[in-house]
Structure 1
Amino acid sequence: MHELTLLAAEAQVDILSDALIELEALSVSVEDFDADTEREEALWGEPGMPVEREAWERSTVKSLFPNEAQALEAVTLILAQDWATDIHVQGIQEVEDQDWVRLTQSQFAPVPVTDDFWIVPTWHEVPAQAKTVIRLDPGLAFGTGTHPTTRMCLKWIARHPEALQGQRVLDYGCGSGILAIGAALHGAAAVDAVDIDPAAVESTLANAEVNLKNVDVKLNTGLPDLVGEAQAAYPVVLANILATPLKLLSPLLSGHVAPGGHIVMAGILARQEAELKEAYAAVGLQLSVADEDDGWILMTATRKSGGA
């Protein structure tokens, strides 16, 4: 296998990537050419919202081909195009054959949430100290337990079984379904897990099938219209998204919290604490920071039994 490396301007990345795929590249990846320098840039966006830019000002585009001849043919055809005048070849090099599946799997080890609550990939043995286990492999949907936001939500679940026992739970923005599964394993009688991404709904269903075979829980999954408008129906509402959508959804999410119920939110940076408190105070919930991990915070609130 051979790797073709090209340098492209931001405006050329999409057309170049499409051309490489058309020329039967096995894979195409894009990196910041200026990574680890003073010119390095961070590109990111909130879920469900368009990113400001799709590539870096100077982007490294790498593609894999089965052999050197195909890589040479592909770059020759690309450089002959009118739009490719500013694309520069960085090199073609042989890539050592590896067991890519095993290499990828080696990067994901069991993750402890608490001393006896673990997330364990299916190819790993369950640690001896693990009494409660979620079997979860990295996939298309967000939430494998490795990120601080997910771990903090799961810790809250593990430490508050009395809030979950026999109760109905809403997991809004379910991703992989890890929080819904965690709630079910800690005593929830019913869980509604919703996400705007159909792939996340499919992932939740698949992961629940693996983890909840012997658990008596009613699990409903689907798009957000599954739970409809806010109706104060849930003793526990979980939402591990990001700060901007959490603010926009404040009327909806707060409205789903039943009297005496809890809301548990993550995806919030420590510097965003005040703006989240302000947004939820306006809809009758007094948020406080319940946990912090690596610059991220977990925010929770309890609705007064008498109302907002």
Structure 2
Amino acid sequence: MAWIQINTIVDENLAETLSDAFMEAGACSVTFEDAKDQPIYEPELGTTPVWKNTKVVGLIDAEMDPNDVIATVTAMLPQISAEAYKVEQLEDKDWIRAWMDQFKPMRFGDRLWIVPSWSEPPEKDAVNLMLDPGMAFGTGTHPTTALCLTWLDQHTPSGLNVIDYGCGSGILALAAQKLGAQTVSGTDIDPQAILASQQNAERNHESIHFALVKDFDSEPVDLLVANILAGPLKELSTEFDRLLKPGGQLVLSGLLETQAAELQAHYATLGIQLNTLQTKEEWALLSGFKN
């Protein structure tokens, strides 16, 4: 099926309004892109991050007339002239296959492989986690996920009770389970994450309890892994302290290397010493023990 893109660059105050206008005009989807290389590392929870200069891209069926769409959008937003919009014909190809081709089997540490559900494991006798990325975060491609997976491979959770807090696709919970954990549970604030995690557990023939944060409860565990963001990691410190046994181990990622020292100091006030720092690109992982 062929598609047409219509895009323009606006300031952050108009991005959401233009997105709504595109949808009203018949667009199948609208995406935001950074127009000026302005990274957004840590948006506020529950918000849609936009850039000061945001490229708004509306996708329409090639059978629609892009001039009609632009005319409709311009009528709703006259402050953006019709000449500001750029129209591009997209190549007609199998977009699902193109998306699937982005994900290849990946190895973490000595024996852990993350294998897309449509691929064959490269090493049959390795610890293979079959994953469908779905709509939830967590495929192993992001540096913080890679740091956590490598840590789990190097520090076998065999016989431990484990929580994956902010489970995303369930990738860390499944890795812990396949690496020998006694029990594993996972939680997230996003219902889609819980659904994706449950489906990935079924795909791997593993029994793991996943629940939304509002419904999640657990006895203190031996190991808690949280790959979120620095702000939530700080806000959740007392909850993590409650969920850890004395002597329990805490692994935190999703933070920038420049944020590590502040988190270490904060957790030290609770008696949790995060003494080990590992980095990948500009991202970091902290690990340590509760006194």
TM-score, length-scaled by structure 2? 0.90
The reply on whether 1:207 has 2:200 as its aligned counterpart is: yes
Matches within 5 A, 1:162-241: 164-211=157-204, 213=205, 215=206, 218-228=207-217, 233-241=220-228
Q: Classify 1:151/1:32 alpha carbon distance in 2 versus 1 (closer, same or farther; 3 Å).
A: closer
Equivalent position of 1:291 in the other structure? 278
Offset, 1:245? 1.0
Q: Is the 8 A contact 1:254 1:263 kept in 2?
A: no
SS at match of 2:272: coil
The reply on whether 1:275 has 2:262 as its aligned counterpart is: yes
Offset, 1:204? 0.9
Q: Classify 1:79/1:295 alpha carbon distance in 2 versus 1 (closer, same or farther; 3 Å).
A: closer
Q: Is the 8 A contact 2:167 2:197 kept in 1?
A: yes
Q: Classify 1:44/1:293 alpha carbon distance in 2 versus 1 (closer, same or farther; 3 Å).
A: closer
Offset, 1:254? 1.8
Q: Classify 1:102/1:299 alpha carbon distance in 2 versus 1 (closer, same or farther; 3 Å).
A: same
Matches within 5 A, 1:1-308: 1-33=3-35, 35=36, 40-46=37-43, 48=45, 50=47, 54-67=49-62, 69-81=64-76, 83-87=77-81, 88-128=83-123, 131-161=126-156, 164-211=157-204, 213=205, 215=206, 218-228=207-217, 233-303=220-290, 308=291
**What per-residue deviation string (whole Å, max 9, x for no partner) do you get for residues 147-184 of structure 1?**
121112112212222xx223311111111111110111
Code of the residue aligned with 2:171 in structure 1: it is I
SS at match of 1:119: strand
Q: Classify 1:47/1:175 alpha carbon distance in 2 versus 1 (closer, same or farther; 3 Å).
A: farther
Q: Is the 8 A contact 2:170 2:186 kept in 1?
A: yes
Partners of 2:40 and 2:255 lie apart in 1 by: 18
Q: Classify 1:10/1:128 alpha carbon distance in 2 versus 1 (closer, same or farther; 3 Å).
A: same
Partners of 1:45 and 1:269 lie apart in 2 by: 10
SS at match of 2:287: strand
Q: Is the 8 A contact 2:158 2:181 kept in 1?
A: yes
Q: Is the 8 A contact 2:34 2:51 kept in 1?
A: yes
Q: Classify 1:31/1:226 alpha carbon distance in 2 versus 1 (closer, same or farther; 3 Å).
A: closer
Partners of 1:301 and 1:179 lie apart in 2 by: 18
Code of the residue aligned with 1:264 in structure 2: it is V
Q: Is the 8 A contact 2:109 2:154 kept in 1?
A: no
SS at match of 2:273: coil
Offset, 1:130? 5.9
Offset, 1:280? 0.8
Offset, 1:69? 4.8
Deviates more, 1:245-254 or 1:9-18: 9-18
**What per-residue deviation string (whole Å, max 9, x for no partner) do you get for residues 43-87 of structure 1?**
353462546xx5334433222222365211111122233x32234
Q: Classify 1:10/1:291 alpha carbon distance in 2 versus 1 (closer, same or farther; 3 Å).
A: closer
Structure 1: runs of 5 or more not aligned? none
Choose 1 or 2 for highest CA Rg. 1
How many residues get paired? 288
Q: Is the 8 A contact 1:21 1:27 kept in 2?
A: yes
**Higher normalized strand content (fraction of residues):** 2
Code of the residue aligned with 1:288 in structure 2: it is N
RMSD: 2.2
Runs of 4+ in 1 over 4 A off after TM superposition: none
Partners of 1:143 and 1:47 lie apart in 2 by: 19
Partners of 1:57 and 1:76 lie apart in 2 by: 25
